[in-house]
Structure 1
Amino acid sequence: MQDVYFFTGFPGFIATRLIRRLVELNAGAQFRLLVHPSQRERAERERATLGSAEQFQIVEGDITREGLALTSEKSDALRGCVTYVFHLAAVYDLAVPKDLAYDVNVNGTRNVNTFVKSLPQLKRYVYFSTAYVSGDRTGRVLETELVKGQNFKNHYESTKYEAEVLVQSVREQVPLTIIRPGVVMGDSKTGETPKFDGPYFVMRFLDKFASLPIPYVGRGDVLMNLVPVDYVVEATCCLAHVESGEGKVYHLTDPRPYTAKQAYELICRELLGKPPVWTLPSGLVYGALSIPAFRKWVQVERETIAYFQEQSVYDASQAERDLAAQGIQCPDLREYMGREVAYYKEHREDREKLIAVR
């Protein structure tokens, strides 16, 4: 039987990369790509780079609406053929307003769950969560843990947590794999990334002070979980299909992470050719970023600072074990950071990659 993959989150960067890799692994597979009407034009352009409209069919819909806003005819057609569901659609902005985050991340996931449970030929439901459903937990966080009474740093974290709770509630009803990535960077081989957020905010910050002695931000002794997108894609494609992946949650985090101070210094040396030489208290930086004019000038979201104080240590034992059996491992940050920074330097004036800071 021909596999049919149903995706939300297309034409997003990770979803598109996953689709390209799945085609390499299964050339005869079919794809049904759920796209919000507002994204139709962009999706059509991206689909044209993938292949034929017959193999990669765009389906207009809306995860925030009951039945994904699909016609009964389209729903019936999908139920008759879909074998894999990859749910990536979400609002990933750390500064996202609560109502929008809840509607897309929580209500949207509830609606996708309902759709998934209606698929008689389903082989695997792959849900993209985040390692940061751990919220403000400290110490070692296991892949097998979720509900621990934690609080959250922002609405992105809290709504992704609520969404994963919903997904875990159906794990006895459908074959399920949950992916929890860390902070996803660009490709480890090319540096390619669609937008300069997350650790790229550090690069944007350093650009503003390149001619001055560069400070560290805070003590920086906590661990940073940076992972390149090609590792996330390769690992996900593997875990979505191997028998050992069914029913499991995976931290796609760096099993040998660098501290925030080490990662910051790596970026600084690659970007500016010099190391930081003094330390600025993180509270002072956060306070400055609370001033809209300063925040917009340096082009850094204040929510970013919290991730330089993250006290969680993400245990990725299940991911390491199951991926090692397939010859897959996370690249070392020191080996690819130079390519990430080089890509940023080449494209830092590209307005489409710059995240608007409010």
Structure 2
Amino acid sequence: MSSRLEAEHLYKVFGRRPGEAVKRLREGADREELRADGTTAAVIDASFSVEPGHIFVVMGLSGSGKSTLLRMLNGLSEPTAGSVRFDGQDLTGLSDRALRELRSKKISMVFQHFALFPHRSVRDNAAYGLAVQGVPRAEREARADEALALCGLAGWEDSWPDELSGGMQQRVGLARALATDADLLLMDESFSALDPLIRRDMQDQLLELQKTLKKTIVFITHDLNEAMRLGDRIAVMRDGRIVQTGTAEDILVRPADDYVASFTKDVDRSRVLTAGAVMDTDVRGDEADCDCETATPDTTFAELCAISARLTHPVAVVGADRELVGVVPRQRLVGFLGDEPGAPEACDSPRGKSGEKVTAGA
């Protein structure tokens, strides 16, 4: 599968002599050295790719460079160095006019603070991108109404933004992005201004829409739980650099460094991990013919705990042909729920506490 969006060695430097600053960064200089000279390195050597139909989440603390990185993906901010390719086209070489055309038809943004026009109806706000494209009124209103319905706002088309709750206003912003039928959605902290319950509802809405629409999405957040819930893949940023890219399970189970590990400490792992992530694979795969309760690699962690509670031996994990691909001893489950980073290694063989060999038929 070819990538829909690719960023290669992106740098964004603000201040004097940015080109010279990039050279210094490549030679090993850090942010603090540049800051002492009055130069700010917002993004440093960022590379990643996003597959079609995937949600790629960029997360990090305030000031990590994630929003600056997002603005380079649609040309709102020109990279100091590096390239951005969308469907194989290098955006960094496009003219201003070509970039405006791209943003109006192929790349849409959903902002943190709704960015609705208070003097326009909900329908007209949702149709705004289409109006910029010059789509005739009847067509753009029909497409706006369809997008609003997808976002759960059917019946609110003639309302004004100040008549809507914060969550509903954010749905209008999402509908505006969907109405243009853009290939790429860029979402900059889009749910962070919402109350926790409304925020979770918007996450549910996005995941439900994604099942049908299968948009390519880059989602910016500072909340790891949100990143884990939404992202097919996640990039963690620190001080302008991407320090780790991977699935939610990769980041939870194999953090690249202590900084990433500190983020995962308070994550509800039962909502993220699967049997495939926690199982011990040092097993023989020829003894899976049995009637005992088993798991598959996709079994959720919570379901895995329930199965383990009903068994007196480690849970056998089987593949599509009932071959034994791994086992999960109970103490391994406890280890993954704990905070101590070495816990998963506490059980390093497919044997129970008494030392007996475990098979699917045990």
Q: TM-score under structure 1 normalisation?
A: 0.27
Q: TM-score under structure 2 normalisation?
A: 0.27
More helix by share: 1
> Which of 1 and 2 has greater Rg?
2
> Relative contact order, CA 8 A, sep 6+: which one is greater?
1
